[in-house]
Structure 1
Amino acid sequence: MIKTFIIHVSKGYEDRRQHIDSHLPERGITDYEYMLRGDIDDLTPDIRNNFFSDRLSLPEMSCLYKHYLVMKKVVEEQIPQVLVLEDDALLVEGFVEKLEKFREEIKGESRYLINIEEASNLVPLSIRKPNQSLYLCKTNKLTGGLVYDLEFAEKMVELLDSTVTDAPIDGLIGNERQTLHYNIYWTHPPLVRQGSKTGIFASELSGRSSGLYATVRSWFKEGYRTHVRSHLSKKQKALFENVTKY
């Protein structure tokens, strides 16, 4: 099985850890590692000044830094390919088998990130092709479910070690594709949804609340974005047209 990391805040989010520890084994993932370092309390003035501009909120800084620490671990341990999930991840049934299909499709390539999260954005119907799961895209989505290789991690670690960033991790990945020359793929079907987007968990990053009202509101709002706008928007379709492959 692919090496798996979970982005998790070590204090105050015990419900999310309980969710991961019950949900992932149900979906066939029993071997995974939490990234507990990088909580807001761990962000010393030196880290904040060297990594982030003051445009980012503390939760955004912490989330980015945790992803950076995973990438750095990938580089230090020379892990060829990694699965990274955030701690509110909801995986589809048959996750392992479907992920293996994606890994087979990407075999032989390097410098890539595969976004396996739905994130209220689907590959438009007009772009999809029979027997194809991965679609080259100009930008990234959110970071609830990612697969990437060692070469991608090396590029990102080098960037973050040498630059002060003013973008959260999801935006940073999309912004730097052309500069660092890596490929971003969206998948159809996506394999992950974020519980904080469906109303199951509250989100400090987005300000979303949890509960029945939030769940119902999310069902309508995110449902429109996912199943209508994804297919009708010309901007959405353009993300997959004339994409430079590196």
Structure 2
Amino acid sequence: MEINLTNKAVFVPHVKKGYEDREQHIKAMLQKMNIPFSWILDGDIADLTPEILDKYFAGDMHKAGATASCAYKHVLAYKEIIAKNLDGALILEDDIQLDPRLFIGIFNKSLTELNSEEQEPSIVSYEDTRLRFVPKSKRVGGKVLYPGNRDRMTGAYYINKKGAELIINELEKQAMDIPVDWYNAKLLHENKLKYYWCQPTIATQGSHLGIFKSAITVKDNFLSTLKWRFKRFYKKWLYELR
């Protein structure tokens, strides 16, 4: 099965130098799945000039650090969607682990369902990193998209053009003062952005699996990875009972 990327793209935020293990991981995984992609390399910490910080960031985000760099790379991906007049893009952080068996089929179906809805600014989250799932009692046979009431991080998500335009327009009015995943959640709670959860989840951030160290937090260790894996197993089981 081939991924449906008609007038769409796959963008992977990454750094110009360093994290070569993540680079090789993404290349190998996406090549094996026959998924074409483009890197988002601009927006490294060194690229965050005072002008960029003043334009896009405020508060604790108004400093050249890893969190602002990560957010800015996502902003650059949104700008690429608009500049290239794409319908939208799948955005994958460079430590993401996709389900090789399920991802393409579920992704294609999610876009079919999204396109059948009224076209509003929308994000579709594919990952389980925040351990948020759709309760079994709310699932409908054959359906994969469900309205989400909270964010599920930014490791693997699709954003349509209207969603990209919304975020860029909002940033023109008020700079981002929280991390990009929280910012998306803020727009959700303000009823400006539709946020869909994909069920089943088909992606996990590798830093939570223990494959990579996080580029932002320093709390990486074997015990935390083990705890997270256990919590994922438990919560998936719990949501099957709800």
Query: Is the structural similarity TM-score above 0.5?
Result: yes
> How far did residue 53 of structure 1 move?
2.1
Is the CA contact (8 Å cut-off) linking 1:139 and 1:175 kept in structure 2?
A: no
Residue of structure 2 in register with 1:55 after alignment: 60
Amino acid at match of 1:199: G
What is the number of equivalent residue pairs in this alignment?
A: 230
Q: Quick one: which of 109, 112, 136 aligns to 1:125?
A: 136
What's the counterpart of residue 82 of structure 1? Answer: 89
Residue 72 (structure 1) aligned with residue 79 (structure 2): yes
Q: Secondary structure at the match of 1:73?
A: helix
1:177 aligns with 2:182: no
| AA at the equivalent of 1:13 | Y
Any idea what the Cα deviations from partners look like across 1:161-212, whole Å, max 9, x if unmatched?
A: 33122111101001112546221100111111100111111013232426x5
The percent of aligned pairs where both chains have the same amino acid is: 31
TM-score (ref. length: structure 1): 0.86
**Do residues 104 (structure 1) and 109 (structure 2) align?**
no
Structure 1 unmatched runs, 5+: 238-246
In the alignment, residue 68 of structure 1 is paired with which amino acid? Answer: V
Whole-Å separation in 2 of the counterparts to 1:204 and 1:183: 28
CA distance in 2, matches of 1:115, 1:46: 31
TM superposition score normalised by structure 2: 0.87
Q: Does 2:209 correspond to 1:198? A: yes
Aligned partners of 1:11 and 1:222: how far apart in 2? Answer: 33
Unaligned runs of 5+ in 2: none
RMSD across aligned C-alpha pairs, in angstroms? 2.0
Q: 1:82 to 1:46 in 2, by over 3 A?
A: same
| Distance in 2 separating the partners of 1:38 and 1:181 | 26
Correspondence for 2:173 among 147, 158, 162: 162
8 Å contact kept, 2:13–2:40 = yes
Number of the residue aligned with 1:17:
23
User: Which is further off, 216-225 or 182-191?
Assistant: 216-225
Matched, 1:115 2:102: no
- The alpha carbon displacement at 1:214 in A equals 4.8
SS of equivalent residue, structure 1 residue 135: strand
User: 2 CA distance for matches of 1:179 and 1:36?
Assistant: 31
C-alpha distance after superposition, 1:62-83 (max 9, x if no partner): 1110000000111111101211
Q: Which structure 2 residues correspond to residues 34-53 of structure 1 after superposition, within 5 A?
A: 34-53=39-58
Deviations 1:48-70 (A, max 9, x none): 22222242372110111000000
Match of 1:126, SS state, is helix
**Helix, strand or coil at the partner of 2:164:** helix
Query: Contact between 2:106 and 2:144, CA under 8 Å: does it hold in 1?
Result: no
Per-residue CA deviations over 1:111-170 (Å, capped at 9, x if unaligned) read: 211111112221122221212110012222100111121111101111123312211110
**Equivalent residue letter for 1:6:** V
- Tell me the secondary structure at the aligned position of residue 60 of structure 2: coil
Q: Which amino acid aligns with 2:206?
A: G
